[in-house]
Structure 1
């Protein structure tokens, strides 16, 4: 009987709103790493009719012609921690199940490391399941400017969302590596490569930078 493939090691990726986590995820993909995006998996999960039915029962009016109105759901859930806990109870177990299936597929391909891109990784107490954690950070004023430029949210709304997350300073303390995204893209790339090198994951010399958006977020 053949043994199952060894489980890939997990590199957790997280950061406060507007810090630039998505940019780092693109850089990691450009270096050949599989990045499992928890937000994308959550979007996939919430296309399941059974999940949509549970969400509609808990948050009436967030479906429009059978399609989830994500802005309406966010407004309803983020307004109250208790309501957000209800949404998380519906989606998080399914997201974890799907992420595990994707990890198993990476193991079958023989990958030694996978990246788990999870916005609330530390808030959810998931760092213990990671072999290393990358925290992307930048000054709050810069993060607010990035988010308001790309999303239409006001500065006050961004501050409110940021306040619901773990403070950036606490995230930095819990990180294996902190990536300071207050400089240019080349500086961020150097930090990513240094972290990968320290983990024994030196990227190929020919890796190409990703297509970059002006907001660097």
Structure 2
């Protein structure tokens, strides 16, 4: 029996997902503050996997060249994540390449991290592209954040300082809420009143 099977047999693993700027961070922060539950975030693991001199870092530099390095960074070695996002946003081939590189690495690292919390009855896995990257098999249930596209757009424009067109494109690059809800066990409604999802979390955690 492998690490994944052992972990799932004894542990409730909640995969928290949702569209870009749907409110996953707000919900994660609430759980972190009010519940004594370990939280693993795929975005945090992704950052670790592209730190200088890691396998992911070397592969990315080999593919994109040294211009992807953030020269404003004190070390002069770190990857410019904003520039990288802009490149893969505009070039589908680059996006596909980096997803093929990073998604398996993130999944492997997340499974290993899960094993460190094997004595915890419940853990939360925050995975923005849970369904797109096929992470369903490491979760025992999927919680999906519901948020209208217009609200996503406003948040994205404010957060990332992008234009309306770019915001819509970023949203539409992901699976729609309608597609995702087919796989969801729980919907956290973050449409207007946060008390809706708070009530759901209090009932289920």
> Smaller-chain TM-score range?
0.7 to 0.9
Given the alignment, which residue of 77, 82, 96 partners 1:85? 96
Q: Is the 8 A contact 2:148 2:191 kept in 1?
A: yes
Q: Is the 8 A contact 2:12 2:140 kept in 1?
A: yes
Figure out how many residues of one structure are paired with residues of the other and give that number.
Answer: 191
Unaligned runs of 5+ in 1: 202-217
Cα distance between partner residues in 2 of 1:191 and 1:183: 15
Moved more, 76-85 or 150-159: 76-85
Given the alignment, which residue of 29, 32, 38 partners 1:29? 32
Cα distance between partner residues in 1 of 2:92 and 2:130: 17
SS of residue matched to 2:117: helix
Given the alignment, which residue of 114, 118, 122 partners 1:103? 114
Residue 15 (structure 2) pairs with residue 12 (structure 1): yes
Deviation of residue 19 (structure 1)?
Answer: 1.0
Q: Residues 67-90 of structure 1: CA distance to partner in whole angstroms, max 9, x if unpaired?
A: 111111112222223211211232
Unaligned runs of 5+ in 2: 1-5, 71-75
**Segments ≥4 residues shifted beyond 3 Å:** 4-7
Structure 2 residue aligned with 1:132: 141
Q: Is the 8 A contact 1:134 1:176 kept in 2?
A: yes
Deviation of residue 186 (structure 1)?
Answer: 2.7
Structure 1 residue aligned with 2:180: 171
Given the alignment, which residue of 40, 43, 47 partners 1:43? 47
SS of residue matched to 1:96: helix
Given the alignment, which residue of 88, 102, 118 partners 2:127? 118
Given the alignment, which residue of 159, 162, 166 partners 2:168? 159
Q: Is the 8 A contact 2:14 2:122 kept in 1?
A: yes
Deviation of residue 23 (structure 1)?
Answer: 1.1
Q: Residues 1-21 of structure 1: CA distance to partner in whole angstroms, max 9, x if unpaired?
A: xxx886422111000112111
Deviation of residue 92 (structure 1)?
Answer: 2.3
Moved more, 14-23 or 42-51: 42-51
Aligned-residue CA RMSD in angstroms?
Answer: 1.8
Given the alignment, which residue of 141, 150, 154 partners 1:145? 154
Higher helix share: 2
The TM-score with structure 1 as length reference comes to: 0.81
Q: Is the 8 A contact 1:135 1:172 kept in 2?
A: yes
Structure 2 residue aligned with 1:63: 69
